[in-house]
Amino acid sequence: MFNVMKLVFPIIFVTTLAYATDLPITQDELVRRTQELYDSIVSGNQTPWKKYFADDSTFSDEKGRTLDKQKLVADITPFPKGYSGAIKIDNVISRIIGDTAVLSYDLNETETIFGQNLKARYHVTDTWLRRNGQWQIIASQAQRYYEDPAVAAPSQLLNSQRSTSSFVGTYELAPGQSRLVSVEGENLFIERKGKKEQLFPETSEIFFRKGVEGRILFHYGPTGAVDSLIDRRNNEDVIWKKTR
């Protein structure tokens, strides 16, 4: 007698498998896979990176590097001895449309280096693509959130023989373009066009403004007096000459 089940069962199995691979992916599953990637960094486990990144993928990191899959996977190595840490996903936003999914999220990194604790925050956007029933990342881009440097403790400034009073004055970039540096109590301020901001010391003669990338430095001329203010942005300097 002809066994119908021998014919029907393979059809059912293949149909079920095809349906399962064709199901849309969920945000929860994308987050689970992404967390698996970052959990593997400490141990240097390359397996999830090989699995979830497509062979033709690109990864642009916070250092300005753009890596293909081969270079990205090679970059996953175990933490050195004395180092430990964790990376956790937060603030997830997703858009899943057809065979494409975009996952945007923050990364909160904690790292311990021989007992000293460090923290960093990143924002990452991954684009997942379904091809041949398999979801993989085709492109990923990471950027690091800007963080103000630490304010120098007074004890760190004691070795300076300079006084902040020597920074006080008017600095000119071009005719009609000037900045005023003043002191109020023990605090240093910089003002331009009515906007006044406090300068916080990173070292005795290097300052920053909260929430503003870059540094303010003061330059001493041949006589030992301050003759200019340097507005340093991305290692490039805009120089303001001291006029009074």
- Res 107 pLDDT > 80: yes
CATH number of 154-242: 2.40.128.50
Would you state the pLDDT for residue 155?
A: 67
Instruction: Flag whether pLDDT at 11 surpasses 60.
Output: no
**Assigned fold of 22-144:** Nuclear Transport Factor 2; Chain: A, (3.10.450)
Q: At 109, is the pLDDT very low, low, confident or very high (cuts 50, 70, 90)?
A: very high
pLDDT digits 0-9 by tens, 32-52: 999 999 999 999 999 999 999
Per-residue pLDDT of 147-159, as tens digits, reads 888 888 776 665 4
For residues 128-145, give the mean pLDDT. Answer: 97
Comparing C-alpha atoms, which of 204, 230, 233, 199 is closest to residue 217? 230
Residues in Cβ contact with 201 at an 8 Å cutoff, skipping those fewer than 6 apart: 151, 152, 157, 188, 207
Smallest CA-to-CA distance from 101 within 126, 128, 74 is with: 128
If pLDDT is split at 50, 70 and 90, which confidence band does 139 have? very high
Average pLDDT over residues 75-95: 95
Q: What integer is the mean pLDDT of 67-73?
A: 97
Cα 100 from Cα 129, distance rounded (Å): 5
- Tell me what pLDDT residue 174 has: 93
DSSP letter at 46 equals -
Does residue 1 carry a pLDDT above 80?
Answer: no
* Averaged confidence pLDDT in the chain: 88
Ranges of each domain in the chain:
22-144, 154-242
Q: Using CA atoms, how far apart are residues 119 and 121, in angstroms rounded to an integer?
A: 7
- Cα distances from 213 to residues 22, 119, 209, 235, in angstroms, run 47, 18, 8, 11
pLDDT of residue 162: 54
Give the pLDDT score at 205. Answer: 82
For residue 164, pLDDT over 90 is answered with no
Q: Are 122 and 109 in contact (CB under 8 A)?
A: yes
Q: Which residues contact 39 (CB under 8 A, 6 or more apart)?
A: 86, 87
pLDDT at 22: 63
Segment 89-112 shows an average pLDDT of 97
Give the residue-averaged pLDDT of 236-243: 95
Q: What is the spatial distance between Cα 40 and Cα 34, in angstroms, rounded to a whole number?
A: 10
In tens, the pLDDT along 216-228 reads 999 999 988 899 9
Asked if pLDDT for residue 6 goes beyond 80, the answer is no
Q: Is the pLDDT of residue 8 over 50?
A: no
Q: CA 216 to CA 239: how far, in whole Å?
A: 10
Element (H, E) at 228: strand 226-233
Query: pLDDT band at residue 80, thresholds of 50, 70 and 90?
Result: very high
